[in-house]
Amino acid sequence: MKHLELHIIQSVPVACLNRDDLNSPKTAVFGGVQRARVSSQSWKRAIREMAKELFPQQFRGERTRLMFDPLVKEMVAVGLSVADAEEGAKKIVDALVKLDTKSKEKVKSTTLYFMSPLELQTIAKVYVDTKDAKKTLKAIDAKSLKDAADISIFGRMVANDHSLTVEAASMFSHALSTHKVNNEIDFFSAVDDLQPKEESGAGMTGTLEFNSATYYRFAALNLDMLADAEHLGSMTREERQDVVRTFVEATVKAIPGARKNTMNGNTLPVYVLGVVREKGHPVQLVNAFENPIHSTQGYAVKSVELLKSEYAKLAETWGVEAVLEKAIPEVGMKTFLDEVVAHVN
């Protein structure tokens, strides 16, 4: 399959980009030592949000349990009464993702549904004619998702109706530090501004966990799949190029927003290697760091060196061939994007 790979080295200072159930930065053991970790789900969320900013016309997908109200609005817009629209919307939500009968305040589904505005409009128009939820759902196809390229890229799973499942054209790994990382504890205290001067002590104290790390990030995009009839095949090649340009830029620049106001881990990568291959499957380069880097002079430079070495080794040993190999900062972002999207089907 023709695909794009992105291999990214990025240093992040004091931060807690992705927390576990105990409010601690996520970690994983790799190469026998603990690494800082950011889940693929966390980084994908940040990428989707940035893609909406960069190209709002084509990245309009929303993952929600609250599709009922938007669907009612679309049904009323095509001529149904509010009562009929609410009845129809409940039938459709129940057929798609099951109504949550325990919800008392709002009509919700039991699971998240990744929907597009155009899809809701399509459902509303068909339901007016059929008044049948199951027949209506059969009208949903890739063309009704044209305004939500994020659904084609990131995929969706619909357990109740597998025909509506969209296989993700993208692939992500969990970001791992290229070196050993131990989480640290920050003790903080807050002053009570109205506390009498004769009283001592803080108004509040507590602790937060954090870490800092140089990460290896990996993402890939199946360019053949993206252009097929079940994904963005109804778009023109130029439209798909715009979508891929947005996806790549967002993947490179986006960063999870956890504790962004108190720790602000926002950085840009120090190195991005873009590879387009005509065949085979995406291969990440994480084994460059299976032996963790030990350094008192920083990790970024050595991480880039090892990444390049691992890629060269794979090319020589396994005959991995590419039609494009381009890296930032050896070229600027605009040139990088131009050369990548030139290979979009």
| 176-222 pLDDT, tens digit each | 999 999 999 988 888 888 888 888 888 888 888 999 999 999 999 99
Residue 104 — pLDDT band, cuts 50, 70, 90? Answer: confident
d(CA 64, CA 47): 17
d(CA 125, CA 117): 13
Quickly count: other Cβ atoms within 10 Å of residue 158's Cβ. 17
CA separation (Å) from 46 to 30, 87, 106, 229? 25, 35, 27, 27
Residue 331 — pLDDT band, cuts 50, 70, 90? Answer: very high
pTM confidence score? 0.94
Amino acid at position 113, single letter = Y
3-state secondary structure 232-262: CCCCCHHHHHHHHHHHHHHHHHCCCCCCCCC
For position 288, what pLDDT does the model report? 98
For position 226, what pLDDT does the model report? 97
Phi-psi region of 215 (alpha: psi -120 to 50; beta: other; left: phi over 0): beta
Amino acid at position 45, single letter = R
- Taking residues 156-161, what's their average pLDDT? 90
Give residue-wise pLDDT tens across range 31-50.
999 999 999 999 999 999 99
CA separation (Å) from 317 to 131, 312, 313? 61, 9, 6
What spatial distance separates the first Cα and last Cα of the chain, rounded to whole Å? 12
d(CA 1, CA 121): 34
**pLDDT averaged over every residue in the chain:** 95
For position 78, what pLDDT does the model report? 95
Q: Which helix (H) or strand (E) holds 140?
A: none
- 239 contacts 232 by C-beta, under 8 angstroms: yes
- Taking residues 129-147, what's their average pLDDT? 91
CA angle, residues 23, 28, 29, in degrees to nearest 5: 145
Give residue-wise pLDDT tens across range 275-299.
999 999 999 999 999 999 999 999 9
Q: Which of 90-99, 150-159, 163-172, 187-196 has the lowest mean pLDDT?
A: 187-196
- 34 contacts 180 by C-beta, under 8 angstroms: yes
Residue 247 — pLDDT band, cuts 50, 70, 90? Answer: very high
